[in-house]
Amino acid sequence: MKYVIGIDLGTSAVKVILANQDGEICHTISKSYPLIQEKSGYSEQNPEEWVDKTIQALKELVKLFDGKVEDIEGISFSGQMHGLVLLDEQHQVLRNAILWNDTRTTKQCRDIYNLVGEERLLEITKNAALEGFTLPKILWVKDNERNIYERASQFLLPKDYLRYRLTGKIHSEYSDAAGTLLLNVSEKRWSSEICEAIGININFCPPLVESHHLVGTLNEEVAEQTGLSKNTKIFAGGADNACGAIGAGILDEGKTLCSIGTSGVILTYEDRKDRNFHGNVHYFNHGKENAFYAMGVTLAAGYSLSWFKNTFAANEDFSTILNGIEKVGIGANGLLFTPYIVGERTPHADPLIRGSLIGLDASHTHAHFARAILEGITFSLNESIEIFRDSGKKIDSIVSIGGGAKNDTWLQMQADIFNAKIHKLSNEQGPGIGAAILSAFGCGWYSTLKKCSEKFTIIKKTYKPNPKNVKEYKELFSLYKTIYGKTKGINESLSKFRR
């Protein structure tokens, strides 16, 4: 029996998965690391934490593995998008990585529009200039940390830096590069036009390869530290959402994914490179060669639930804090939550907006709050589905993965709010399984990525929308959508008090 490893470099933890040729998950190891948040809107991590925790996880995985390490043929990667890792000429890290959920770069987004042009940026990158993307972060360092910027010779995205440390080889791939605002998405090349307009040497951008591309083998130091073979093949991997799509079988037109991790995503497959959503949603290269996907993002999906737990129930686990939500009626007894606690992405690209609990009553209990938070997260995701449906896409069947797929009540809530069938997978491991599939495909286990994904992807249960619930949720959703406009001005005024 042969095996592969998928490494998912998330925002809060690295997850390492060992899978075999039958599509079975043999072992899973997770190691967490902290966020560094020195100011409101700042979000950073030390890249060495990623490397150290990944090596620890691989070492533990090898100890659990009952077989010959030579049978572990390949490793591939999934990772948090948009993060900035700056390297000097010796490939040493110059500062902490600035992450996808960092919102300090509003000025730099305006500068990009001024230098490139808003319409031209959309034509080339298919995406609007938002604070979370990589290019605004590069400009922020240039504007605010000039001494560091002048020493920088190249940038990498988070999972690409981790892969470099395991192989000694520097690359990026199209699905992650698409989230930088430096890639010509249709033509699959770094944009010399944008680089020239911004004043960046195009060699500042790493070489590009396909997600299933073999980039090297494990270096001897890491092989010795982990117990893996130095002949283990290393494949480029993909952005977390691209890998999540692969792991959920979103590889054909009409397939849609709901992924709830720290952020939340509604992702729909596209085989056209010329689709135009006018910047209302993201449009990225897929981990599948010559394919694309459109995606709406809720910045604080699972993070809203984590915030609630850590603030009000720090000693309880996630299953405990959701106890009783099935007994609370739709609308949580008149309580509405907007998950804008770190700003928002889709459909409101707004770094200053903040969350709300509307309708707070003395009768509300812990369970009411928990249900309202789940409903608010799901309403936010539904705004992306609404955009796709308004564009003419048919969405009546959705695969749900991540934290939102771990609770039956939440899954039924998704079916009712989205008014679509929700499929739960039997072996759901989020983006990590997509990384493992890319490794298996790269190793030549299957003739196509789709056939490989089908081996790993089995639907366990389907949740159908309840017509009565659908009707109630439509009414609540209409109320939910009014909250942004009514709180926007208040939050802009409050922003000066945030420190």
- Residue 318: pLDDT over 90: no
Q: Are residues 311 and 401 in the same domain?
A: yes
In this structure, what token pair is assigned to residue 126? 């298919």
In a domain, 38, yes or no: yes
Percentage, residues of the chain above pLDDT 90:
86
- Residue 101: pLDDT over 90: no
Say what the pLDDT of residue 280 is. 85
In a domain, 17, yes or no: yes
Cα 443 from Cα 408, distance rounded (Å): 36
Q: Are residues 148 and 261 in the same domain?
A: no
Q: Are residues 200 and 254 in the same domain?
A: no
**Final residue belonging to a domain, choices 241, 262, 292:** 241
**Final residue belonging to a domain, choices 241, 274, 301:** 241
| Selected residue with higher pLDDT from 356 and 276 | 356
Cα 230 from Cα 219, distance rounded (Å): 6
- Residue 196: pLDDT over 90: yes
Residues annotated catalytic, as ranges: 240
Q: Are residues 61 and 209 in the same domain?
A: yes
In this structure, what token pair is assigned to residue 377? 């997260």
**Final residue belonging to a domain, choices 209, 241, 273:** 241
Q: Are residues 207 and 321 in the same domain?
A: no
Domain that holds residue 71: 3-241
Q: Are residues 144 and 35 in the same domain?
A: yes
Q: Could you count the other beta carbons within 10 Å of the beta carbon of residue 497?
A: 7
Say what the pLDDT of residue 274 is. 78
Q: Could you count the other beta carbons within 10 Å of the beta carbon of residue 33?
A: 19
Cα 242 from Cα 267, distance rounded (Å): 9
Say what the pLDDT of residue 278 is. 79
Q: Residue 241 in 3-state DSSP?
A: helix
| Selected residue with higher pLDDT from 166 and 342 | 166
Q: Are residues 197 and 237 in the same domain?
A: yes
By the 10 Å C-beta count (0-12 exposed, 13-18 middle, 19+ buried), 95 is classed as middle
Say what the pLDDT of residue 264 is. 92
- Residue 137: pLDDT over 90: yes
In this structure, what token pair is assigned to residue 69? 């390490």
* Helices assigned H by DSSP within 255-327: 302-312, 318-321
How far does CA 256 lie from the centroid of its chain?
A: 15
In a domain, 441, yes or no: no
In a domain, 87, yes or no: yes
On average, the pLDDT of the chain sits at: 95
In a domain, 491, yes or no: yes
Percentage, residues of the chain above pLDDT 70:
100
Q: Are residues 258 and 385 in the same domain?
A: yes
Q: Are residues 190 and 75 in the same domain?
A: yes
Q: Are residues 95 and 211 in the same domain?
A: yes
In a domain, 450, yes or no: no
Say what the pLDDT of residue 253 is. 87
Give residue 427's pLDDT band: very low, low, confident or very high (50, 70, 90). Answer: confident
Indicate which CATH number applies to the domain containing 199: 3.30.420.40
Q: Are residues 256 and 228 in the same domain?
A: no
In a domain, 423, yes or no: yes
Per the structure, the count of domains in the chain is 2
Q: Are residues 264 and 226 in the same domain?
A: no
User: Is residue 45 a contact partner of residue 114, using CB atoms and an 8 Å limit?
Assistant: no
- Residue 208: pLDDT over 90: yes
